[in-house]
Structures are given as C-alpha cells and as structure tokens.
C-alpha cells in the first residue's frame, strides 16, 4: 500500500513526458551501458561542445498534463469569436465531410506519413495525390498539375518566376498584375518580384494588351466578383510571346469555362473550399497547373505513373532528380515540404461528392448569390459587378461603416471595398436564413420579402456570360464516380492507407526530417471549430484566442532558440529561409549596405538553402567541408578575405547536416560578424539542441525552425508544415508583414511571404500543446534522448557499417551517416537496395544519399523505445549479413534478396526459383511472423516513369490489367 498523504503526490503531472520519450528508466540504463556511460549528462558532455552548452535551464514553464493543457488551450480558443464570414478573398467556409475528417485529417495512418520518396511503400498517398492532380487538371483545363504548393499567393509568385524562366524570347522584365487580384497575392508577388528584378505593373485587365510584359496574372473571378473573359487576354499576351497566368477559384471552375480552354499558360489557386477548414489562414493546398511544355521548369513535386519490376502500374514522384536535395544549382524553386494532406483531403472531397455533387454545390452557391442579388436590387442597391459567381460588390454610398457595424453586431463579417462599397462572398454553408439575415442587414430592418419571390427573380438572372459557362463538365474521370456512399469512401481511404508505411506502423528513421511522435492530445485541437472556422481576415477583436496563442507560442519558441522575436508567417522551412534572407536584405538596405549580395553556403547544405539564396537575389558561394565533415574555417577565412563586404550572409546548418556539433561554430559566427555579415543558421535540426544550446546565443542572427520536425506537427505525407523564423533584435523590425491584418511591429515594405498573416495558424496548437505538456524539463530531456537514441543506434551499427562522421569525442548529435560506398565496391549492393530491402522488414528507409552520395542518414528521435531501436538495428544487421553472402559469392550479385527487394505477395504466389527461400525473402526475422507489412508493388522503374511522363489518372481499365 502506498503511504501517500496527498492527491498531488499520486498524480503524475509529468506523465506525458514519459509517453513522448520512448526509452524508460530501465531502457536508459541498458543503453548507457552499451555506450559505456554512467549517465545521460555524461553523454551530453561528450556530444555537445562545452563552448555552446547553456549553463542554465530555459526560462519556460513546467510540464502540464494532457488534460490540463487541453483545458488551458480550450480556454484560449474560446476567446475566438466564430462569426459568419462573407469576406471571401480566397477563403470561404465549407463543410469538411466527416468521413474525411475522421479518417484522413484525424487519422495517423495519413497524417504521420512522410513525403513519398520511397514510392513502393507510399502507393496509397501517391494514388490520392494523383487523384488530386487529375481533379486540378480537369477543373483548370490544363495538361498537367503538380501535387500542391503552399498557398495561392506563393503559387502566383512561383508562376511568375516560371513564366520568366521558361521564356527566352520575350525580354521584358515587367510582370502585369490584375488590380482585381487578391491583395495578399499582390503583396507576395511584389516581394518576390523585387528580388528577381521584375517591375510590377498593376492595373485593370484592359491594360494588358497595351503593356509590354513577359506575363500577366489575372484573378478569375476577380477579388470583387467580376468574371473576366480570358481568351482575348491570352491571345493578346501570346501575340507578344508573353504568358497568361490565372489565379482561379476552385469552386467557380466547376461552372466556369476553364482557364485552359481559354488559353491560359499557368493556373494557380487554393483548394481550401473543397472541404478544408479556413483555419485562420491555413494550412491549405495551393494548386498549380500548367502546359506540358513547362513540365521541366515547374516548381514542386509531380506524381507520375510508372511500372514496377513486374510491369504492374505503380506511382512515384516524377523527375525526382530535380529534387532540391540532389540538385544544388539551378533549382526551379525552393519548395520542399508542400501541402500533401490537404491536397489529398480535397481530392477525397471531389470523389465523395462526385461530378454531380460538386456541381450541385457550385450551383447552389451561385444561385444563393443570385437570390441575394435579387433581394439587394429590390432594395434599390446597385451591384457593381455585372457578372459574378459567388461575390457581389454592393454600392452603399456613405452607409458603409454603418452596414459593416450592423453586420458585426449580428455576428456577420462583410468586406469593405474602398469607401462606398461592401463585398459579400457566399459559400457552401450559406443557408436560406443566412441570406435573409444578410438582406435584413442591408435593409436595416427585418426580412420582409418573400423568399420564394426572390428565388423566382434569381432564376431569371444571367450572372455568368454564356460564353464563360463551362462547355464540358469537369471531374469526368471514373475515380470521381466510384465512392459516393460513405461505406465505399471509407473503404477506399482505408485501402489506400494500408498500402503505406507511416509512423503508426514503425519508426521512420529519416535523418534531417525528425519523424517523432505526433501525440493525439497535440492533434485534437486542430479540428476544434474555434480554430477551424476563423477567416484569416476577420477583425482581430474576434481572433483574441489566436492572438493569445501566437503570443505565447512566439515566447516559447524565442526561449527555445535564444532569439528575440519570432515570425509565424512562413509555411515551411523553405519559406522561413526566404523570410530570413529577405529580412537580412532589408536590414542591409536600411543600413545603406545594399552592395552585399553574396551568400556563403557549405557544400553539405540542404538544397533549399542555395535555392532560397537565389530567390532573395543573392549569389551563392559554396564553401567546402573538411574531411571530418565540418565547415572548413580556413577556406572561410580566405572567402572573407576575397569577398569582404560583398558578403551578406552565411547559411549554416547546426548541428551540421552530417549529424555533428561542430566545435568551431562560435568562431564561424564571429568571423562573419567581423565583416558585418549576418549568420543564418538553418534550424531544421533543432531537435538536437532545445534546452542544451541556443542558436541565438552562440551567434545566429536568424533561423527558421521546422515545427513539423522538432515541434511535433506531423509531416502529413509531405505537408503541411510550418517554418517560423526567429531573429535577434536588430532584425526584428524587418519581419514579414501583411496587407490585410496588422502584424505587430512590422511595416508593409518589409515584404510579405505567405498568403495568410500567421501562416498555417490552425496547426500551431500542435506545437503549443507539445511545449506546454513537455515544459522545460521535458523538452530538454527530449533533446538528451534524441542524442542517446542516435548514439545507441550508431554504437550498435558501427561494427557492421562505417559511421562517416563523429564529433571530437567520438559521439554524434541526433543523427548519423552510414557510409555504404565500401559495400557497394565489394558487393555491388547500393544504398537503394538496402532502402528497398528494409521495406520487407516493415521499415521506411533512412534518408538516402543526403548530404553525401552513397550513404544512409539515420535519425531515430527520442520517441522510439529501446525495443523499436533494437528491431531496426536487427533488420540492418540482418541486411549486412545478406550483403556478406553476396560478397562471398554465396548469393549471386543479380539475384539476391537485396536487389530483388521489396518482395510483394505476387512474388510469394508465383513459382519460386530463386537462390534464397520465400521465408528469407518475406520473413527474414522472427518478429515478422507477428506482423507483416506487404509492399503493394515491387521495385519501381524510375526511368520508365520519366520517359513516359503521365501525371493524371490512367483509365480505370489499366488498373483492371494488374492481375
């Protein structure tokens, strides 16, 4: 019996920490013993250089239990006021089908998956993404589409860059922007254009024909509702070798003639209103569709159709060699993490409703708008736009303020346009009562009309010019007809999910990606309506809960990094890098040092770094690494000597992408500062540091943090993510701003990075919950255990595979590189063979050939228990034995379980004539008798897919051919 004398004593306030961190006390003891250590402290002393170690605890609160943290967050959320939003401007209320919410958005089988670099174990999300591309291709009328960008505004900026990149004939540097574009798009484009040296011409679309430009961006329909005819614009642009880029509303495309059919060259937009909550700005998927001629210059990832080694149809990311990880120079863009989970949700939305269902939704929104227009006109109001889909711009003379106020008093948000007009955008959720409420507000009295009469009037309104009505229905592919019952939808989603390996199946030891626990308690608030139903441009007095959340999270992240100020705007690490370099450029501009245009980047850098430097108008100078994998400080000194005050910044990753804490980091920072340059520390690897060392403390001026790595936002199969940046005080005045919301302490001329002022606001509760539940002790322990788990794996594997780099005392940070080049020389077995073979063991491969070709980079994270680490190491050791059999000649080089991996059920069921057994192929270790994952396809042919690029859904008949 316990002799407790208080309830408090029996409560386990810190329970969450033990749930988040894999190893328990007994495991820890065993692991330390294996490493020849007495304590975790001793390991930290050996792994983390003294020169950077913090000597006091972080100034964060203590750990809070799951239920207390949730209650606290619920209280914060309750300060958000969920009004009816008719603000529009790219964000609209909609219904998320609950079968999709529960089985995708709230399902770890989908949200904990990684970007599908290993296609054989990602066929489920690849198929869902292919469906997304098919949906976008049909709606936009274009040849091809990618698998998502971060939002509509950055999509527009990427389109601008691509239009220039792909056009060598037109020498103009002017980019035309329709003045009816959404304001956030104009500002994001303006910021990018400045660094590319483009001049923006913002004007009415009637100016396009007479403006010398290389491309024009047109909003379809315009932000105030008008539906422009695109064909004549496309013709005018094409006649001067310029391109037409269209920013399209996805729901309107169901009814409107597609931009593709009217000659558009690139079409971008947001998938938000296809079933994704507004979430105060995100996350949503930006879509991006283009002509086939653009396929090699397009940003983002494209899912393509290929075949596997049996000739069975299989999907993969097309043209993967363009991936920024691999190709440092001439990247098409810096996009890495995109918005896979949201793209998939919207594809399911279209499949669930089908062509007819989606059309009914679009028709309903459009008809509701006509009813509203009829009622307003009856009241004597003039509608400014002569055509519309869902948005009316109503002339209200001097009554604007009074009307807006009356609306707010009734819990309704309208949008002011200029001084004398009000815009109203209707949506999928708008009901008859909502229309009556709106008409009452405009009337200034109760609704006294007869609704049916208004409907009669509406039926005779022609709000879309006949020439702009879609001739051929969209969503005609069979996949949109197959899953209309909830049972069928549910089973289809489950079927796809079961083809994939995600964190709910086994550890995903991807170096540099930090695949750690995404706890349920962290995920639960994401679907609270207090967070989901908020429009990003709603008046801020309605968003006090969000503002409180931002303020608290910013303070937490500042403490974790040693920085003074945080911007939550960037939607991914790549965008954080860009925001950081923009801040640096603006800082130098303000100080009269605009001549600084060089960014030094070590050769081991993540591919996003140089791509970002180019976007920020900087020239990249690559600095080599020493044979120990560290930045070569002597070479750096020479570069400083050579380029002097032309150097704007260095971008270093810390701990390095080689998985080591470099001893010289303080000296590197000091050297750069000695010539007035800035230090950008890529903080994607923060998981090895929180609580033990701080970027801002040892010399960083600015960093991005990947909340989807260190701070537990799940990877979603390749997004969403969040890449906020931290800066020291001197850069704080240069953080990103926004045209439609006041972002405290910023000015519009700082530039705008994302469409939404606080990026993907609705997933920030995940990181808040994590930090709150871990507290300062928990977070520091997580770091210690990330280092312990990595060193334990390195210790167990080092006699089987050489570890490429270690720190001075023989320890690594949170990840390690296995050097497989010697094995390749002795056996012909490649890192790819090992990656594929791991699938037979039910594991996702570690990061392959980054940052060094011929290596695997393992990052176990703190969340894996000793049992799981051992299981993974056993698999790796078993694989090493198989390689030994190839080396010794016991197994032929071209017919062994490695080169023929992964093994599918098809392999098992056919006649067996291989020099190894079925058992060895499929169940090489005993634990596989307990649970076996079967790869859905065999090894996929990369070359075939790129030669025959197909990024839309093949006809269903192809699927029927499989067996």
Ligand X SMILES: *Cc1c(COP(=O)(O)O)cnc(C)c1O
Which one of 88-96, 496-504, 681-689, 725-733 is the stretch in contact with ligand X (CB under 6 A)?
681-689
Q: How far is the CB of 94 from ligand X (least distance, A)?
A: 26
Q: Which is nearer to ligand X, 506 or 512 (CB)?
A: 512
Q: How far is the CB of 405 from ligand X (least distance, A)?
A: 41
- 337 scored as a contact of ligand X (CB under 6 A): yes
Which one of 286-294, 299-307, 392-400, 680-688 is the stretch in contact with ligand X (CB under 6 A)?
680-688
Q: Which is nearer to ligand X, 257 or 862 (CB)?
A: 862
Q: How far is the CB of 337 from ligand X (least distance, A)?
A: 3
Q: How far is the CB of 850 from ligand X (least distance, A)?
A: 9
Q: Which is nearer to ligand X, 334 or 427 (CB)?
A: 334
Q: Give the end-to-end CA distance of the chain in Å, rounded to a whole number.
A: 63
Looking at residues 274 to 293 of the shown chain, list those that interact with ligand X (rule: CB under 6 A): none
Radius of gyration of the CA atoms of the chain, in A: 28
Would you say the C-alpha torsion 195, 201, 202, 208 has a positive or negative sign?
negative
Give phi and psi for 543, each to the nearest 5.
-115, 30
Q: Which is nearer to ligand X, 428 or 577 (CB)?
A: 577
- 656 scored as a contact of ligand X (CB under 6 A): no
Distance in angstroms (rounded) separating the CA atoms of residues 953 and 949: 12
Which one of 42-50, 295-303, 567-575, 892-900 is the stretch in contact with ligand X (CB under 6 A)?
567-575
Q: How far is the CB of 154 from ligand X (least distance, A)?
A: 12
Q: How far is the CB of 334 from ligand X (least distance, A)?
A: 7
Binding mask 507-536 for ligand X (x = CB under 6 A): -----x------------------------
Q: Which is nearer to ligand X, 278 or 510 (CB)?
A: 510
- 154 scored as a contact of ligand X (CB under 6 A): no
Distance in angstroms (rounded) separating the CA atoms of residues 138 and 173: 32
Q: Which is nearer to ligand X, 708 or 776 (CB)?
A: 708
- 657 scored as a contact of ligand X (CB under 6 A): yes
Q: Which is nearer to ligand X, 454 or 517 (CB)?
A: 517
**Residue with tokens 């011409």, as numbered in its chain:** 201
Q: Which is nearer to ligand X, 400 or 653 (CB)?
A: 653
Surface-to-core class of residue 518, CB atoms within 10 Å of its CB (0-12 exposed, 13-18 middle, 19+ buried): buried
**Residue with tokens 């980091």, as numbered in its chain:** 665
- 336 scored as a contact of ligand X (CB under 6 A): yes
- 846 scored as a contact of ligand X (CB under 6 A): no
- Residues in Cβ contact with 413 at an 8 Å cutoff, skipping those fewer than 6 apart: 83, 84, 85, 86, 87, 407, 535, 538, 539, 542
Which one of 11-19, 276-284, 377-385, 678-686 is the stretch in contact with ligand X (CB under 6 A)?
678-686
Q: Element (H or E) spanning 249, and its range?
A: strand 243-249
Q: Which is nearer to ligand X, 49 or 719 (CB)?
A: 719
Using CB under 6 A, pick the residue from 258, 272, 706, 791 that binds ligand X: 706
Binding mask 377-396 for ligand X (x = CB under 6 A): --------------------
Q: How far is the CB of 616 from ligand X (least distance, A)?
A: 15
Q: Which is nearer to ligand X, 384 or 606 (CB)?
A: 606
Q: How far is the CB of 603 from ligand X (least distance, A)?
A: 14
Q: How far is the CB of 576 from ligand X (least distance, A)?
A: 8
- 682 scored as a contact of ligand X (CB under 6 A): yes
Which one of 117-125, 135-143, 629-637, 682-690 is the stretch in contact with ligand X (CB under 6 A)?
682-690
Looking at residues 710 to 729 of the shown chain, list those that interact with ligand X (rule: CB under 6 A): 721, 723
Partner residues linked to 741 by β-bridges: none
Q: How far is the CB of 586 from ligand X (least distance, A)?
A: 21
Which one of 214-222, 303-311, 569-577, 589-597 is the stretch in contact with ligand X (CB under 6 A)?
569-577
Judge whether 496 and 125 are in contact, CB under 8 Å.
yes
Distance in angstroms (rounded) separating the CA atoms of residues 831 and 511: 14
Q: How far is the CB of 149 from ligand X (least distance, A)?
A: 12
Q: Which of 817, 882, 825, 826 is nearest to 846 (CA)?
A: 817
- Give how far Cα 540 sits from Cα of 128, 176, 183, 534, 744, Å: 36, 32, 18, 11, 12
Q: How far is the CB of 895 from ligand X (least distance, A)?
A: 37
- Residues in Cβ contact with 42 at an 8 Å cutoff, skipping those fewer than 6 apart: none
DSSP letters, 827-872, are: H---HHHHHHHHHHTT----EESSSSTTEEEE---TTS-HHHHHHH
Q: Which is nearer to ligand X, 14 or 783 (CB)?
A: 783
Number of residues forming the site for ligand X (CB under 6 A):
16
Q: How far is the CB of 650 from ligand X (least distance, A)?
A: 14
Torsion from C-alpha of 185, 190, 193, 195, nearest 10 degrees: -120
Q: Which is nearer to ligand X, 607 or 757 (CB)?
A: 607
Distance in angstroms (rounded) separating the CA atoms of residues 417 and 61: 45
Looking at residues 69 to 128 of the shown chain, list those that interact with ligand X (rule: CB under 6 A): none
- 814 scored as a contact of ligand X (CB under 6 A): no
- Residues in Cβ contact with 713 at an 8 Å cutoff, skipping those fewer than 6 apart: 518, 707, 720, 721, 722, 763, 766, 767
Using CB under 6 A, pick the residue from 579, 684, 787, 848 that binds ligand X: 684
Q: Element (H or E) spanning 44, and its range?
A: helix 40-47
Question: What secondary structure, in 3-state letters, does 122-183 show?
Answer: EHHHHHHHHHHHHHHHHHHCCCEECCCECCHHHHHHHHHHHHHHCCCCCCCCEEEEECCCCH
Distance in angstroms (rounded) separating the CA atoms of residues 259 and 208: 16
Which one of 167-175, 258-266, 568-576, 864-872 is the stretch in contact with ligand X (CB under 6 A)?
568-576
Q: How far is the CB of 323 from ligand X (least distance, A)?
A: 11
Q: What 3-state class would DSSP assign to 565? A: strand
Enumerate helices (H) and strands (E) in the chain, giving the number of each: 33, 25
Looking at residues 723 to 782 of the shown chain, list those that interact with ligand X (rule: CB under 6 A): 723
Q: How far is the CB of 801 from ligand X (least distance, A)?
A: 22
User: Which tokens is 934 given?
Assistant: 């079967």
Name the residue number minimizing CB distance to ligand X. Answer: 573
Q: Which is nearer to ligand X, 518 or 685 (CB)?
A: 685
Q: Which of 249, 221, 224, 227 is nearest to 465 (CA)?
A: 227
Using CB under 6 A, pick the residue from 89, 181, 400, 653 that binds ligand X: 653
Distance in angstroms (rounded) separating the CA atoms of residues 612 and 621: 13
- 506 scored as a contact of ligand X (CB under 6 A): no
Q: Which is nearer to ligand X, 678 or 706 (CB)?
A: 706
Q: What 3-state class would DSSP assign to 485? A: coil
**Residue with tokens 């001049």, as numbered in its chain:** 199
Q: Which is nearer to ligand X, 572 or 763 (CB)?
A: 572
Looking at residues 570 to 609 of the shown chain, list those that interact with ligand X (rule: CB under 6 A): 572-574, 606, 608
Q: How far is the CB of 237 from ligand X (least distance, A)?
A: 32
Q: How many Å is the maximal CA-CA distance in the chain? A: 90
User: Which tokens is 499 given?
Assistant: 């083809």
Judge whether 847 and 788 are in contact, CB under 8 Å.
no
Q: Which is nearer to ligand X, 509 or 723 (CB)?
A: 723
Judge whether 797 and 876 are in contact, CB under 8 Å.
yes
User: How many other C-beta atoms are found inside a 10 Å radius of the C-beta of residue 239?
Assistant: 9
Interface residues with ligand X (CB under 6 A)?
Answer: 336-337, 512, 572-574, 606, 608, 653, 657, 682, 684-685, 706, 721, 723
């Amino acid at each position: 019996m316990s002799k407790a004398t208080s309830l408090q004593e029996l409560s386990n306030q810190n329970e969450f920490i033990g749930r988040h961190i894999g190893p328990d006390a007994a495991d820890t003891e065993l692991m330390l013993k294996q490493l020849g250590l007495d304590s975790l402290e001793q390991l930290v002393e050996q792994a983390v250089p003294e020169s950077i170690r913090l000597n006091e605890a972080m100034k964060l609160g203590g750990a809070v239990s799951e239920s207390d943290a949730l209650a606290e967050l619920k209280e914060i959320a309750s300060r958000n006021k969920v009004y009816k939003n008719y603000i529009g401007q790219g964000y609209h209320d909609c219904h998320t089908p609950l079968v999709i919410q529960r089985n995708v958005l709230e399902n770890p089988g989908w949200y904990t998956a990684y970007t599908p670099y290993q296609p054989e174990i990602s066929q489920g999300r690849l198929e869902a993404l292919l469906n997304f591309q098919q949906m976008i291709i049909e709606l936009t009328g274009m040849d091809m589409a990618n698998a998502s960008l971060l939002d509509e505004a950055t999509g527009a900026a990427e389109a601008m860059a691509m239009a220039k990149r792909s056009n060598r004939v037109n020498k103009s540097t002017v980019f035309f922007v329709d003045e009816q574009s959404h304001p956030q798009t104009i500002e994001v484009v303006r910021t990018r254009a400045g660094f590319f040296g483009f001049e923006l011409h913002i004007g009415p679309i009637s100016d396009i024909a007479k403006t010398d430009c290389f491309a024009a961006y047109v909003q379809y329909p315009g932000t105030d509702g008008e539906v422009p005819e695109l064909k004549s614009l496309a013709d005018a642009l094409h006649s001067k070798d310029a391109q037409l880029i269209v920013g399209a509303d996805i729901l309107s495309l169901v009814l409107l003639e597609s931009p593709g059919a009217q000659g558009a060259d690139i079409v971008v937009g947001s998938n938000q209103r296809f079933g994704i909550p507004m979430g105060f700005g995100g996350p949503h998927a930006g879509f991006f569709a283009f002509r086939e001629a653009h396929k090699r210059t397009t940003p983002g990832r494209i899912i393509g159709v290929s075949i596997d080694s049996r000739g069975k149809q299989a999907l993969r990311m097309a043209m993967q060699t363009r991936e920024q990880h691999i190709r440092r120079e001439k990247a098409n863009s810096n996009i890495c993490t995109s918005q896979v989970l949201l793209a998939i949700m919207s594809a399911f939305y279209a499949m669930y409703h089908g062509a007819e269902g989606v059309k009914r939704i679009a028709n309903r929104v459009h008809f509701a708008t006509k009813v509203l227009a009829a009622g307003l006109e009856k009241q004597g109001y003039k509608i400014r736009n002569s055509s519309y889909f869902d948005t009316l711009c109503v002339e209200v003379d001097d009554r604007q303020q009074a009307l807006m106020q009356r609306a707010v008093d009734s819990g309704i948000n309208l949008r002011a346009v200029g001084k004398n007009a009000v815009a109203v955008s209707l949506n999928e959720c708008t009901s008859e009562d909502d229309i009556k409420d709106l008409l009452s507000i405009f009337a200034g009295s109760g609704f006294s009309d007869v609704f049916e009469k208004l409907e009669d009037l509406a039926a005779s309104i022609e709000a879309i010019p006949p020439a702009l009505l879609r001739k051929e229905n969209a969503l005609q592919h069979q996949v949109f007809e197959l899953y209309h019952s909830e049972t069928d939808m549910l089973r289809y989603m489950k079927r796809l999910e079961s083809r994939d390996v995600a964190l709910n199946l086994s550890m995903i030891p991807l170096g540099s990606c930090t695949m750690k626990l995404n706890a349920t308690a962290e995920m639960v608030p994401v679907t609270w309506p207090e967070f989901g139903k908020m429009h990003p441009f709603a008046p801020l007095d309605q968003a006090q809960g969000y503002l409180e959340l931002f303020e608290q999270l910013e303070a937490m992240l500042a403490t974790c990094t040693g920085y003074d100020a945080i911007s939550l705007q960037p939607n991914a690490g790549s965008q954080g890098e860009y925001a950081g370099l923009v801040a640096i450029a603006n800082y130098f501009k303000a100080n009269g040092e605009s001549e600084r245009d060089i960014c030094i980047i070590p050769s081991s850098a993540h591919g996003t770094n140089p791509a970002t430097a180019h976007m920020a108008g900087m020239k990249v100078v690559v600095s080599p690494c020493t044979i120990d994998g560290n930045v070569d400080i002597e070479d750096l000194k020479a570069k400083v000597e050579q380029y002097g005050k032309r150097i704007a910044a260095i971008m270093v990753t810390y701990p390095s992408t080689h998985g080591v804490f470099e001893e010289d980091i303080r000296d590197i920072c000091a050297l750069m500062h000695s010539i007035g340059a800035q230090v950008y520390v890529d903080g994607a690897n923060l998981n090895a540091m929180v609580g033990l060392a701080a970027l801002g403390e040892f010399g960083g001026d600015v960093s991005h943090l990947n909340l989807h790595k260190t701070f537990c936002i799940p990877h979603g199969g390749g997004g969403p993510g969040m890449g906020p940046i931290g800066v020291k005080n001197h850069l704080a005045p240069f953080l990103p701003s926004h045209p439609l919301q006041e972002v405290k302490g910023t000015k519009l001329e700082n530039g705008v990075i994302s469409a939404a002022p606080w990026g993907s606001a609705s997933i920030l509760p995940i990181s808040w919950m994590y930090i709150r539940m871990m507290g300062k002790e928990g977070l520091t322990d997580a770091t210690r255990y990330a280092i312990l788990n990595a060193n334990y794996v390195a210790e167990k594997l080092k006699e089987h595979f050489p570890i490429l780099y270690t720190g001075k005392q023989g320890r690594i940070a949170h990840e390690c590189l296995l050097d497989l080049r010697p094995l390749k020389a002795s056996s012909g077995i490649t890192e790819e063979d090992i990656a594929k073979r791991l699938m037979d063991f039910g594991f996702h491969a570690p990061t392959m050939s980054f940052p060094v070709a011929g290596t695997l980079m393992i990052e176990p994270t703190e969340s894996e228990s000793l049992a799981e680490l051992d299981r993974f190491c056993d698999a790796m050791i078993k694989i090493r034995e198989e390689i030994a059999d190839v080396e010794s000649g016991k197994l032929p080089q071209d017919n062994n379980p490695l080169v023929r991996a992964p093994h599918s059920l098809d392999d098992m069921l056919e006649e067996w004539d291989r020099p190894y057994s079925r058992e060895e192929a499929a169940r090489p270790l005993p634990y596989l008798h307990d649970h076996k994952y079967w790869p859905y396809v065999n090894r996929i042919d990369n070359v075939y897919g790129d030669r025959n690029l197909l990024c839309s859904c093949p006809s269903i008949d192809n699927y029927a051919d499989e067996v």
